[in-house]
Structures are given as structure tokens and as C-alpha cells.
């Protein structure tokens, strides 16, 4: 499908990118990267290698499509169009990026027209997107809300510098107390076989527990098989650093997960931290994070920032992150549009 729209001296043409056409893919990725970084100094851009893998490898449960907006032979805007194959069958996720110098000439609108047309062909009616920005006046959010998207969920994007401050680590260990009644297990990479079922159960509980505001989402339980497939794909571009808590009787109580990108020299990402409700109030989240920071110290190479994202209303985790020295650098906005 090719979409054309007027805007400027030449028509803007929109078409899918062949991810195996390396020069074209390189040009498309460069525009995506430059457009993202132009709008947010704190942004993390998916690496060239990870993006190529997502587009070139046959996904287990999700379809990824790269789309470019062209002025002649030049790529001036990008669209990432993604949708799940086995669940969330009404939803597509889109990310539109346009170089600052090419804005206000119909590039974003042309990409949106392509996305709306492809979604209609697929029978999908819910569009979701997300942006990192200082506030809702940012260009991407203004463009999306102009199309009818509404902000449904907001998180703080927080960072802490690496290597992690040893004095703060010492203080946190001194004040954390003992994790009596629990044992911690840490690993780097895929989950050890003996913990797969417990880890899958905890990932399911995390999906049910994490705040998502008004975003439409069908939670799909994590089975051992789904977890293995996900780990195999992620391990090609990221090292997973995980610490899990069990009771002394062997019941899972919580976990924390960090991603160390293999091709990103600057950024590591703190992802999930969950303590099951029956085990809260024991400072277990702090112990999990401390153990995983020990893993990060062993596996970190050149990364200088650790990032995390926490919902504004998640007061307990906001307090934990503040104790660990995280400070906000921007807001993360999730938006949705339904065309039912």
C-alpha cells in the first residue's frame, strides 16, 4: 500500500520498508533515531541491531512493520506499526516520528493515514501510542491529540547515574534490615529451569498489578512456554538481570528485572519490581533491588545511566525509587484512540 499526500514542493509518498534492504533500512532507522532524540534528550532509542532483529525475524506473537515517508528518495518520517497476533486483536500500536525540519508539511498526517488504512484492513479499531516529553505541549503529543488521541496514563521517567554510588548502597544496606523468612536467587540471562513456573506466575501477577490508567489491554497469562519464547528473543539483544524472592517454604514472593542492552553503550533499564501483596511491608522490594544492583555491577560495561518508569499514582514505588537516588527527567505519556 502506498499513500500520497500533498505537502511542500513535492508529494510525500508513504510505503513499507523492506528491512532486508540494508541501505534503505539504515536510512529509515537514522531518521527514527534523529527524530526521537530531537524531541527528548532523555530518550532511549532501540538499537539498530535490536530493531533489525524485530523486523527481520519471524515473531512468535507480534507483527512489526516499518513504514517510511519519502520526499523523493529521502526518508523524512517513520512509522512503527505493531500488533499482536494471538490476543488484543482490536489493538494496534503506532509510533510516528518526523524530522523537525520536515514538520508541518503533511508528513505525520500521511503516515497516520497509512496506519489508519492498514488497521482498517486488519479489522482493528483501537490505536495506542506513547511519548516521552516534558509536558503535554510536546510536538508528538500535540499531533496525537489533534487526531483524537487522549492521554490515558502518565508515568515519571527517572534515572540514576552509573556506576551506582557506593555510599548510597552502603546506607541502603544498613537501613534495609534482614530479609528474615525469605531467600533471594539471582541470575543473568534466561531463567534457570527450576524457577520457570514461579517466574512465569510472578510475571502474570505483575501484569495484573501494574497501573495502566485507562489504556485498553487484555492481560495474557505467562506460561512457561511463552516465557521461554520471550527469553530466547530478548536474549539476542539484552541481558536480563533478575532477582527473585522465595519464602523459606519455597513459595515465590516477588522479583525485580533489569535489562542490559548488548548494543547500547550508555543506558540500562530497570523494568519490573513486584512484591506479592501478602509479602509487602517487609522491605523486600529494597532487598530485591539491592541484590540486582550487585548483578549490574558485575555485568555492566560502559552504561552510565539506569532508567526506570513509575506511574504517578504508584506512591510506594515512587518512594522506593527516591531512596535509590532516581530523579525524574521527563514524563512518559500513553495515549489511545478508539475508532469503534
CB count within 10 Å of CB 110 equals 27
Model pLDDT, residue 59 = 66
Largest CA distance in the chain: 71
Instruction: Inform me whether the pLDDT recorded for 103 exceeds 70.
Output: yes
- Of 102, 124, 146, which one is at a domain's C-terminal end? 124
Q: Residue 10's pLDDT band (boundaries 50, 70, 90)?
A: low
The pTM of this model reads 0.92
The residue out of 69, 103, 124 marking a domain boundary is 124
Quick: pLDDT tens for 117-171. Answer: 999 999 999 999 999 999 999 999 999 999 999 999 999 999 999 999 999 999 9
pLDDT of residue 57: 87
Q: Are residues 117 and 176 in the same domain?
A: no
Q: Tell whether 22 and 72 lie within a shared domain.
A: yes
- Note the pLDDT of residue 279: 95
Nearest to 173 by CA among 286, 253, 325: 286
- Within 20-165, residue ranges assigned H as helices are 22-39, 48-56, 107-122, 139-147
Q: 101 and 13: one domain? A: yes
Q: Are residues 62 and 162 in the same domain?
A: no
Residue 237, helix vs strand vs coil? coil
- Residue 42: which of 158, 149, 120, 135 has the closest Cα? 158
Residues 173, 311 within the same domain: yes
**Bridge-based pairing state of the strands 252-261 and 91-98:** unpaired
Work out the pLDDT band at 6, boundaries 50, 70, 90. Answer: very low
Residue 5 above 60 pLDDT? no
Q: Among 109, 124, 139, which residue terminates a domain?
A: 124
Any idea what the CATH number is for the domain that residue 196 is in? 3.40.630.30
For the chain, how many structural domains are there in total?
2
Claim to verify: residue 177 and residue 240 sit in the same structural domain = yes
Query: Which structural domain, as residue segments, surrounds residue 103?
Result: 3-124
Q: Does 273 have pLDDT greater than 70? A: yes
Is 339 domain-assigned? no
Query: In Å, what is the CA distance from 66 to each residue of 97, 98, 99, 338?
Result: 12, 14, 16, 22
- Smallest CA-to-CA distance from 119 within 144, 150, 83 is with 83
Residue 164 backbone phi and psi in degrees, to 5: -65, 145
Amino acid at each position: 500500500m502506498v499513500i500520497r499526500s500533498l505537502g511542500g514542493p513535492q508529494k510525500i509518498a508513504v510505503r513499507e520498508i523492506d528491512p532486508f534492504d540494508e541501505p534503505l533500512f539504515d536510512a529509515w532507522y537514522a531518521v527514527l533515531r534523529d527524530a526521537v532524540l530531537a524531541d527528548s534528550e532523555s530518550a532511549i532509542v532501540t538499537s539498530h541491531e535490536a530493531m533489525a532483529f524485530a523486523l527481520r525475524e519471524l515473531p512468535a506473537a507480534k507483527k512489526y512493520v516499518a513504514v517510511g515517508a519519502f520526499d523523493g528518495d529521502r526518508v523524512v518520517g517513520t512509522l512503527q506499526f505493531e500488533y499482536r497476533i494471538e490476543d488484543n486483536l482490536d489493538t494496534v500500536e503506532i509510533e510516528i516520528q518526523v524530522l523537525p525540519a520536515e514538520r508541518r508539511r503533511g508528513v505525520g498526517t500521511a503516515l497516520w493515514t497509512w496506519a489508519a488504512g492498514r488497521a482498517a484492513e486488519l479489522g482493528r479499531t483501537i490505536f495506542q501510542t506513547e511519548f516521552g516529553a516534558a509536558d503535554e505541549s510536546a510536538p508528538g503529543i500535540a499531533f496525537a491529540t489533534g487526531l483524537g488521541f487522549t492521554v490515558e496514563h502518565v508515568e515519571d521517567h527517572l534515572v540514576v547515574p552509573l556506576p551506582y554510588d557506593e555510599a548510597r548502597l552502603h546506607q541502603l544496606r544498613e537501613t534495609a534490615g534482614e530479609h528474615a523468612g525469605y531467600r533471594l536467587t539471582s541470575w543473568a540471562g534466561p531463567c534457570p529451569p527450576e524457577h520457570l513456573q514461579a517466574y512465569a506466575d510472578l510475571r502474570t501477577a505483575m501484569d495484573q498489578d501494574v497501573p495502566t490508567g485507562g489504556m485498553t489491554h487484555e492481560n495474557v497469562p505467562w506460561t512457561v512456554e511463552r516465557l521461554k519464547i520471550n527469553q530466547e528473543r530478548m536474549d539476542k539483544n539484552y541481558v536480563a538481570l533478575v532477582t527473585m524472592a522465595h519464602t523459606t517454604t519455597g513459595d515465590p514472593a516477588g522479583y525485580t528485572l533489569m535489562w542490559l542492552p548488548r548494543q547500547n553503550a550508555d543506558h540500562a533499564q530497570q523494568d519490573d519490581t513486584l512484591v506479592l501483596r501478602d509479602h509487602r511491608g517487609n522491605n523486600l522490594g529494597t532487598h530485591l533491588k539491592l541484590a540486582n544492583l550487585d548483578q549490574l555491577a558485575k555485568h555492566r560495561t560502559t552504561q552510565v545511566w539506569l532508567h526506570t518508569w513509575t506511574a504517578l499514582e504508584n506512591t510506594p514505588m515512587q518512594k522506593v525509587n527516591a531512596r535509590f537516588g532516581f530523579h525524574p527527567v521527563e514524563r512518559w505519556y500513553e495515549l489511545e484512540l478508539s475508532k469503534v
